[in-house]
Amino acid sequence: MSPVSPVSPVSTEALLPRPTRRAVLGCAAGAAAILSACGGDRDASTPTVEADGAVRVPLADTPVGGSTYYPGASARIVVTQPSEGRWLAYDATCTHEGCMTSATDDDGNLVCPCHGSVFDPASGEPVAGPAQEPLATLAVEVDGEDLLIRG
């Protein structure tokens, strides 16, 4: 498959459903930004959206054992790399009451700041807190130095 030229920024409403509640973000997205990113103390890039709706992010944003959050007005994504070369992406919308999972604890787990739900970065399954359902898994494809994410 030949790469498609990125178009940025555009809405990613087709990728993910709109959250039902306003998120409390652990990392701030600019008011005018459709998508932005935060990865702890790393400088995460701003994702782009392909013509087919796939979200493109650099692999370099997310180190082994790390996670990178891409909060957006209509798409909330977290990318993890629980082991070398194993890339995963989830809808970062917490399955408890819809806040954005937006922090990573010392064990590498994904944390929702609203009520403390904690999710496994390798499966999206809840490991603590009130959430009972896993984060929704998104399809990922490595494309060169980037990851393409589709809902």
Please, are residues 101 and 92 in contact by the beta-carbon 8 Å criterion?
A: yes
Footprint (CB under 6 A) of ligand FES, residues 77-136: 94, 96-99, 112, 114-117, 129-131
Report the residue number, 6 or 129, with the smaller CB distance to ligand FES.
129
What is the DSSP-derived secondary structure letter of residue 3?
P
**Spatial distance between the Cα atoms of 30 and 82, rounded to a whole number of angstroms:** 28
CB of 100 to ligand FES, least distance (A): 8
Please, are residues 88 and 78 in contact by the beta-carbon 8 Å criterion?
A: no
Task: Residue 72: name the closest of 37, 102, 42 by CA.
Answer: 37
**Spatial distance between the Cα atoms of 73 and 146, rounded to a whole number of angstroms:** 22
Please, are residues 57 and 42 in contact by the beta-carbon 8 Å criterion?
A: no
Footprint (CB under 6 A) of ligand FES, residues 26-55: none
CB of 84 to ligand FES, least distance (A): 29
CB of 10 to ligand FES, least distance (A): 27
CB of 9 to ligand FES, least distance (A): 26
CB of 143 to ligand FES, least distance (A): 31
Report the residue number, 99 or 138, with the smaller CB distance to ligand FES.
99
**Spatial distance between the Cα atoms of 50 and 106, rounded to a whole number of angstroms:** 33
Total of residues contacting ligand FES (CB under 6 A): 13
Report the interface residues with ligand FES, using CB under 6 A. Answer: 94, 96-99, 112, 114-117, 129-131
